[in-house]
Structure 1
């Protein structure tokens, strides 16, 4: 029951699924903000090929009216998309701050986050290969989850392990946690839940996907 080879595709998939431990605004920036920004940059570059970048900027920021077809698209993007995104994100952040003034979670009682904790990069969903030579509990989990529940199919076991933690981290009960605590609690919950069902030869993800 040797571990499967860790490929670049598997690492990228694990990183992408681990984003669910982030806060809602951060997830939105990754899921939608980055693609929208890339699209706006592409529109800007396309329009800049027909005129000067300063003209595109002035049309994009609605300083000047578009005087040619190539400037209409950045002008429309600047008129509709940018204010809506900025206003929506700012409104969400302000609303979250206001609602959290008198709604502190019990998980945050008496705790103090240092700057080191705030600046620490987000964690990743654990790679099951590291459990193969880990503690007794980790080896027992891998044996049940990979060998019994998934018939030694490492790829499917890792995939379903990531899916379970990803979806657990997306539930409301973890919404108030920071990115590290969210991932840790989702991982611990996955251990406790999956090892019991795996020992009987059942995978919850497999059952739900039938």
Structure 2
């Protein structure tokens, strides 16, 4: 029995998983600004917040970690306060900042998407409407 040689392939082999992931990561710059921010800086902030929450969940308990993060309980009132203070500051400052940034960006994008006229055009129209007009037309009736 003779084995026939395999026919040559029509091109390069398909890219591997690592290459595809690297290409996707490089394509993140094509995202809108909010998507890019969320994948780059926002993901880091959220990962730190999640890491602190998980650490505190194991150290002081999940219910206490939630209460400290949301500001219901003081970090000084839990079993291990040194661990709860960073979670408290994160829940008080970082999480609202991320949510505010996201909301501000979405609102700004919606406003810009619905803006159909340039500001200079609007100002020119307002100036034209504010100019005094001539005398009012006469009623034409003789009484």
Tell me whether the two structures share a fold, i.e. TM-score over 0.5. Answer: yes
Query: For the aligned residues, what is the CA RMSD?
Result: 1.9
1:20 paired to 2:29: yes
TM-score, normalised via structure 1 length: 0.45
SS at match of 2:60: coil
Residue in structure 2 matched with residue 96 of structure 1 by the alignment? 109
1:6 paired to 2:15: yes
> Which deviates more, 73-82 or 5-14?
5-14
Gaps spanning 5+ residues in structure 2: where?
1-10, 118-143
Q: 2 CA distance for matches of 1:6 and 1:83?
A: 41
Q: 2 CA distance for matches of 1:96 and 1:10?
A: 33
Residue in structure 1 matched with residue 69 of structure 2 by the alignment? 60
1:186-201 alignment, distance < 5 Å: none
Displacement, 1:5?
A: 6.4
Larger Rg: 2
Please identify runs of 4+ aligned residues in structure 1 that moved more than 6 A: none
> Which deviates more, 17-26 or 60-69?
17-26
Q: 1 CA distance for matches of 2:36 and 2:62?
A: 31
Displacement, 1:85?
A: 0.9
Q: 1 CA distance for matches of 2:25 and 2:116?
A: 30
1:39 paired to 2:48: yes
TM-score, normalised via structure 2 length: 0.64
The structure-2 alpha-carbon separation of the partners of 1:50 and 1:61, relative to structure 1 and needing over 3 Å to count, comes to same
Displacement, 1:19?
A: 2.1
Displacement, 1:4?
A: 6.6
Gaps spanning 5+ residues in structure 1: where?
105-210
The structure-2 alpha-carbon separation of the partners of 1:5 and 1:95, relative to structure 1 and needing over 3 Å to count, comes to closer
Cα deviation, 1:32-60, whole Å, max 9, x if unaligned, reads 22232222111111112221211111110
